[in-house]
Amino acid sequence: GNVCYTIGYGRDMLKSAPDAMLTCIKNNWSVYYKYVIESMINETDVDADWAKGFKDNALGFTEFGPSCAEGTTEQVGAVIDSIKNGQLNISDIDKKIDRITELN
């Protein structure tokens, strides 16, 4: 009887678990493939630690499931826009430490 809500990774499972699946993080591999092909054409090394995210459209979400709260799609979209335009830096460790200190 209890639902275990989940966020998937790499594969959209919304059709398989419509009541439990909230969304799925997905990779846009075409961004990486373009980088590798351009590196080969330009005869430059492919970075072993290549990593891109929302800002480069290499990462995104599938559709949000019906169990998500109203406004989730818009709120997540606003956060992604903040990452893309540089207003939000999710890797800023100083802000994370400040926030952890606030919570304690």
pLDDT digit string (tens) for the chain, length 104 residues: 788 999 998 888 888 888 899 999 999 999 999 999 999 999 999 999 998 988 899 999 999 999 999 999 999 999 889 888 988 887 776 665 555 555 55
Residues 90 and 61 sit within 8 Å (Cβ to Cβ): no
DSSP state, 9? E
Using alpha carbons, list the distances in angstroms from residue 37 to 2, 28, 30, 51, 88: 47, 15, 10, 16, 30
* Other Cβ atoms within 10 Å of 74 Cβ, number: 9
